[in-house]
Amino acid sequence: MASKITANMAGCWFDSASGIYTGEAVIDEAIARGFDPQTECPEAGWADYEYYHELWTEAEEFLGSLAPDGYCIGSNENGDFGMWAVCKSCGEYTEEPQDDCEFCRAG
Ligand SMILES: [Zn+2]
């Protein structure tokens, strides 16, 4: 059973300094929460896997499916990976989860 991700986990999980290796942390985090990569981790690490980027995306989507209402999981504009508050209407990143935002209201 997947372990729950709660709102108090919002913020940066893996900073952008990890670069291409952020995916390895993302994949490991997803596996720890019940994601099945359907393959063995290569000896040199996930970044060595032929379909690394596809797996990274799948892992990210898996984590995203566990995010509480009003949050998304992914990379922000700085390239930091984590869980971020979003506007529930348009998905724009916001300071706090909210039902609509300046973009919605402007649009
Ligand atoms: Zn909005």
* DSSP 3-state of 97: coil
Rounded to the nearest angstrom, the distance between the alpha carbon of 20 and the centre of ligand 1 is: 30
* Average pLDDT of the chain, as a whole number: 94
DSSP bridge partners of 11: 83
**Long-range pairs for 47-55 at CB < 8 Å and ≥24 separation?**
47/20, 47/21, 47/23, 52/23, 53/23, 55/23, 55/27
Rounded to the nearest angstrom, the distance between the alpha carbon of 18 and the centre of ligand 1 is: 30
Contact between residue 104 and residue 89 where contact means Cβ atoms under 8 Å apart? yes
pLDDT reported for residue 74: 95
- List pLDDT tens digits, range 10-60: 999 999 998 999 999 999 999 999 999 999 999 999 999 999 999 999 999
Mean of pLDDT values over 73-96: 93
Rounded to the nearest angstrom, the distance between the alpha carbon of 84 and the centre of ligand 1 is: 14
Q: Structure pTM?
A: 0.89
Rounded to the nearest angstrom, the distance between the alpha carbon of 104 and the centre of ligand 1 is: 4
pLDDT reported for residue 71: 96
